[in-house]
Amino acid sequence: MDTQGLDRAIHLETVVEASRHDVWEAWTTEDGARTFFAPLCKIELRVGGPYEMYFNLNARPGERGGEGLTILALQPEQMLSVTWNAPPEMGAMRSQHTHLVIRFIPVDEGHTRVTLHHDGWGRASEWDQVYEYFVLAWGKVVLPRLQRRFAGGGPIDWNQL
């Protein structure tokens, strides 16, 4: 059996200039997520609860961003696991859900290591496109915004983007 690419995953980490509690709150509360992740969201911090990020507020429901996503598991201030999907413009791939795990590891009182592990990728050119999209989205957009939010840049002004 050909297993090339079946274990493909995005694994990134960064150190944020904030306490583990504050970084956890940024990822797991609606007020927190709006400071770096998306201008609007729906988060109910419980297993099975929604974890949705809305990027295009003018689009119709189902095409606003990370919709239909749920929390799979959580350990307060340690780990958050959610389903994830492709952006609306990626057509049929949008109905496929992958798996995202974010861990929060204290470095010291004022710094937290955030690890992001995104897996569950299939094999086909469409999957390759979604994978490459998220390599850039997580590594060049989301995690840098998280760092800026705590390193003196403050919350994202979504009206300026």
Q: How far apart are CA 105 and CA 111, in angstroms?
A: 9
Q: How far apart are CA 80 and CA 62, in angstroms?
A: 23
- The CA-atom distances, in angstroms, between 54 and each of 38, 60, 83, 92, 135 are 6, 11, 15, 19, 19
- The CA-atom distances, in angstroms, between 24 and each of 75, 84, 97, 111, 143 are 10, 18, 23, 12, 13
Residue with tokens 């929604």: 50
Closest CA to 29 of 87, 88, 61, 76: 76
pLDDT tens for 78-135 read: 999 999 999 999 988 999 999 999 999 999 999 999 999 999 999 999 999 999 999 9
pLDDT tens for 47-83 read: 999 999 999 999 999 899 999 999 999 999 999 999 9
pLDDT for residue 1: 39
Q: What is the CATH number of domain 10-152?
A: 3.30.530.20
pLDDT for residue 2: 45
Q: What is the mean pLDDT of the chain?
A: 94
pLDDT for residue 149: 96
pLDDT tens for 17-36 read: 999 999 999 999 999 999 99
pLDDT for residue 160: 84
Q: Please calculate the CA angle 138-31-110 and round it to the nearest 5 degrees.
A: 70
Percent residues over pLDDT 70 in the chain: 96
Percent residues over pLDDT 90 in the chain: 89
Asked if 65 and 55 count as a contact pair (C-beta separation under 8 A), the reply is yes
**Cβ within 8 Å of residue 2, ≥6 positions away:** none
Q: How far apart are CA 104 and CA 85, in angstroms?
A: 22
- Domain extents in the chain: 10-152
